[in-house]
Structure 1
Amino acid sequence: MNNEINFIWREIVQDFSTISVLWQLAVIAVVFAISALLNLHLQRQIAEGRVNTVYKMLLGGVERLFFPFTAFLLLVIARYALDGWMHVGVLRLVSRMLMAMVIIRSIVYILRYVFSPSAWLHSFERAITWSIWVVVALHLSGFLDQVLQVFEDVQFSVGKQKLNLLLLMQGMLTIVVTMLVALWLSRMIELRLMASANMNSNWRVIMVKLVRMVAIVIALLVSLAAVGIDVTMLSVFGGALGVGLGFGLQKIASNYVSGFIILMDKSLHMGDVVTISSHYGIVKELRSRYMILRKLDGTEVIIPNETMITDVVINHTSAAHKAKVPIPIQISYESDLDQAMQILKEVGVAHQRTIKDETAVDVIIKAFGESGIDLQLSVWVADPEEGSAKLQSEIYYAIWQRFKQSNIQIPYPQRDVRIISTPNVMPAMDM
């Protein structure tokens, strides 16, 4: 058994016959009570909006992580303060268990912060939790060194290099932890970048993708160096990957390059209303390989980035992120044209989605049709991503109500049929 663990258990056994164990249990109870009160106070601060966004983002799952972390710090302080007065074996034992709880909840928080909730994530969290508690149990029982020695004795060779099971497990753990920390940090930077109002949306997306790529590459290099793998060996892999991209992965590489081109030339933005081939909808998300287009019926279309480079794309949204919605209508020749145009303009200005500007509403005469006068009401809206069907329906209904009040008629299709009389020729009769 480990000497330190053996010493802790001997102290605990001796303290059961003294009042020292009661003092230690009282200290633990006070520490837990203070931690719970601090946790409750911080939760209230966050719920009332008194904690800034950065602090809230750093804490994450405050109700799960803050309590054991605070209790661990207070217990360590109490342990060092009482070490010269009494035995602190119970405090050392509980502090180790709290440290395990902090590690477990920190890992779970990072996993839930980086990845979306799913069945595999829940199973992975349970596996991590049980693994850490098994390690803690082996450590407290004093058998951890023996188990690690057994793993170290299991040796094998990979090429000219000799490895053992313990080294392999340490390397895998280093890589996983480094990658999780890198993804967590990149996720925090992404949220800050996406919340920035001083940066163009396209540049925000570009910076987010670059930050994640750089974080993954740095984490991979650091973890491989920590394990002892020569990173110069990756040059061969990089050359093979380049050849693969040149031949077998042309479409994927083309879509990735096209995605960066679209973001950098600012031809498309999230929220734009576009027509690509036969698809009309709103740009919901721009990703490295494809774009997600949300159609007006709620369905989503995944369009590769290369398609938007090679095909014609109609952007119905202006650079100022506003769109023009045409509303054609016809009135009869007997109706008052000036009054009808005035009503159309008033209805367009009165709608809540119309931009409050003198040039945002326009009424023009399109043509003199067969059945009536063709007019067109055009309104500019600042939220084209909300669609135009409901807007047109509401404006048409308001026009209908105003036209009925002003006795302005919407004509039926009219056709003039003329019958030209012909001489009545009697057919000859056979005799």
Structure 2
Amino acid sequence: MEDQLIAISEWVQALWAEALLDAGNLILPSRLYQFAILAGCILAAWGLKRIFSPRFRDWMRARDAWPKWQLRALLHLDRRLGLLFFVILTWTATGIMAELTPFPSRRFILTLAATIATAWLLVSVAVRLVRNRFLRQVVTWGLWIYVTLYYLGVADDAGTFLDSVAIEMGKFRLSLLAIVKAVIVMALLFTAVRLFSVAVSGRIRDNEDISPTMRVLLVKIMQITLYGAAFLIGLRVVGLDLTGLAFLSGAIGVGLGFGLQKVVSNLVSGVIILLDKSIKPGDVISIGETFGWINALGGRYVSITTRDGKEYLIPNEDLITGQVVNWTHSNEYVRLDINFGTAYADDPHQVREIAIAAATSAKRVLSVRPPVCHIVGFGDSSVDYVLRFWITDPSAGLTNVRGDVYLALWDAFKDHGISIPFPQREVLMLEGSTLDVAADSGFGGEPTDAG
């Protein structure tokens, strides 16, 4: 530790001496007016941004029909508008100085500032491929610092300093430089994996020759494999020894056995669901009181969207261990039953024909599987029937199609004079009995005077 502190102190002293020497060179008259030009470019870029940024944002708001990725790119451009103007102005000033004087030293500072600013602008555009916001910020600042040190000619010295700041335990050595490299390399690898995964996943999902569940399984396996490989490659690139991962994997196994039982159970259940093809995206299922169609199959849960717009996240384990009604497992045909009754005076043969015709007239009722109507009993005040019909789109709702059929029955029975009975009570007076009519009484319960 003491040797590291001595090395750091010597490096800082050498850097300070070099900085003093460079500072002496910067105060030369040929360098001072270049700094004045840079200051003017900074002020001009700030002023141009204040002028054009509001107008540019108003123009973006009028492009609401554009795709979101294009709008996000324009928003990112608006945030970097000042840097873009500065790059344009500094390179313009550098070109003007090149025409005015043949000496490169007369435009050295301008060229250096323009080059560094251009590198910053390119880095800010390239890092948009990193989706994670925190990781994107780390990579952005890391690359900005690196390109600045590189063009200033002190990148090697900075690397030596970062490598000297390290933790050593036996043969294990972890330096600050290794950590920085690991973050940048893994960010680049994860970005490349994400882009490749998105492209391949799109082709897999569009392949109709593969079943929906197998598409989801292939995409999950590919993503886990690629991201795992990127992580291990990133560790190897920075020179970390992976033999210690054997102990780590054992510790993870113990942790899984105690604290992550449910998580592992849901992950395994998700793989089983994908393999046995019991459910797939688009299936209409019922589990408990939840009825809806499967929106997505995740590693831990299944997303089910109901007719009222609610999205339920059902753990995979519940789908394996519980009773699930899959309305579209082997085919899309779903049979629905509705019950009704008619008066005893109505001809049951005619009622059955009218009911079948009424159900067939509904839009979603299938004609390839004609509706049927049966008598199921003789009730106290009606002849009871069951009307059965088939549909192939349960995700469009069940209550609404039942309502359409009931409405068609009402209209058909009204046109043909078929009555739907309801409970009625009749009072019969026995021979010799008398009916007493109670007098109208007030609030006190006593009869009131007529006059």
TM-score, with structure 2 as normaliser: 0.65
d(CA) in 1 for partners of 2:292 and 2:261? 28
Greater CA drift, 214-223 or 175-184: 175-184
Q: 1:322 deviation in Å?
A: 3.4
- Give the corresponding residue for 2:371: 362
Structure 1 residues 37-52: aligned runs within 5 Å = none
Equivalents in 1 of 2:414, 2:220: separation in Å?
56
Which amino acid in 1 is paired with 2:310? T
8 Å CA contact retained: 2:374, 2:385: yes
| Corresponding letter in the other structure for 1:363 | V
Corresponding residue of 2:337: 326
Cα deviations by residue, 1:256-298 (Å, 9 ceiling, x for unpaired): 2122112211112223332323433333332222223334443
Q: Tell me how far apart the structure 1 counterparts of residues 76 and 204 of structure 2 sit (CA, whole Å).
A: 25
2:207 to 173, 190, 196: 196
Candidates 352, 362, 368, aligned match of 1:351:
362
1:198-347 equivalences under 5 Å are: 198-347=209-358
Range 383-392 or range 126-135, more displaced: 126-135
Whether the 8 Å CA contact 1:272–1:384 is kept in 2: the answer is no
Q: Of residues 378, 382, 404 in structure 2, which corresponds to 1:394? A: 404
TM-aligned CA deviation for residue 207 of structure 1: 0.9
- CA displacement 1:185-217 (0-9 Å, x = unmatched): 223322322232222111111111111111111
Structure 2 CA distance for partners of 1:133 and 1:171, relative to 1, 3 Å: closer
Shift of 1:416: 7.9
CA distance in structure 2 between the partners assigned to 1:48 and 1:253 by the alignment: 42
> Quick check: which has more Rg, 1 or 2?
2
Q: Shift of residue 222 of structure 1?
A: 0.9
Question: How far apart, in 2, do the equivalents of 1:110 and 1:280 lie?
Answer: 38
Shift of 1:320: 1.9
Q: 1:412 aligns with which of 401, 422, 431?
A: 422
| 8 Å CA contact retained: 1:256, 1:289 | yes
Picking from 385, 402, 406, the partner of 2:395 is 385
Residues 146 and 182 (structure 1 numbering): CA distance in 2 closer, same or farther, change over 3 Å?
same
Q: What is the TM-score normalised by the length of structure 1?
A: 0.68
1:21-57 C-alpha deviation (Å, 9 max, x unpaired): xxxxxxxxxxxxxxxxxxxxxxxxxx999xxxxxxx9
Contact in 2 for aligned 1:283/1:294 (Cα 8 Å): yes
Post-superposition shift, 1:397? 2.2
Which amino acid in 1 is paired with 2:376? A
- Aligned residue pair count: 378
Q: SS at 1:320's partner residue?
A: coil
Partners of 2:263 and 2:118 in 1: CA distance: 47
Residue 197 of structure 1: SS of its match in structure 2? coil
Indicate the residue corresponding to 2:386 in structure 1. Answer: 376
Aligned to 1:32: none
Distance in 2, Cα, partners of 1:402 & 1:153:
91
Are 1:61 and 1:109, in contact at CA under 8 Å, matched by a contact in 2?
Answer: no
Q: Percent identity, aligned pairs only?
A: 28
Q: Is the 8 A contact 2:123 2:144 kept in 1?
A: no
1:108 to 2:151 alignment: no
Q: Which moved more, 1:164-173 or 1:140-149?
A: 140-149
Q: 1:403 corresponds to which residue?
A: 413
Q: Secondary structure at the match of 1:283?
A: strand
* Greater length-normalized contact order (CA 8 Å, ≥ 6 residues apart): 1
- The answer to whether the 8 Å contact 2:304/2:313 transfers is yes
- 1:177 to 1:394, Cα distance in 2 relative to 1, 3 A: same
Deviation at residue 389 of structure 1 after TM alignment = 1.5
Gaps of 5+ in 1: 7-11, 16-46, 50-56, 72-85, 116-120, 424-431
Contact 1:362 1:379 in 2 (8 A): yes
| Contact 1:97–1:136 under 8 Å retained in 2 | no
In 2, the alpha carbon distance for the partners of 1:346 and 1:95 equals 81
Alignment partner, residue 182 of structure 1: 193
Q: Quick one: which amino acid aligns to residue 222 of structure 1? A: I
Q: Is the 8 A contact 2:123 2:140 kept in 1?
A: no
Q: Secondary structure at the match of 2:303?
A: strand
Question: 1:104–1:132: 8 Å Cα contact kept in structure 2?
Answer: no
Name the Cα RMSD after superposition: 5.0
Report the Cα distance in structure 2 between the residues aligned to 1:60 and 1:232, rounded to whole angstroms: 46
Give 2:128's aligned amino acid. V
Change (3 A) 1:158 1:397: farther
| CA–CA distance in structure 2, aligned partners of residues 142 and 333 of structure 1 | 103
| AA of the residue aligned to 2:348 | L
The 1-side partners of 2:424 and 2:269 are apart by 53
Do the aligned partners of 2:166 and 2:174 also contact (CA within 8 Å) in 1?
Answer: yes
In the superposition, relative to structure 1, how do residues 229 and 125 fare at CA in structure 2: closer, same or farther (>3 Å)?
closer
CA–CA distance in structure 2, aligned partners of residues 63 and 192 of structure 1: 28
For residues 171 and 60 of structure 1, do their structure 2 counterparts lie closer, same or farther at Cα, with a shift above 3 Å needed?
farther
Structure 1 residues 129 and 162, CA gap change in structure 2 (3 angstroms): closer
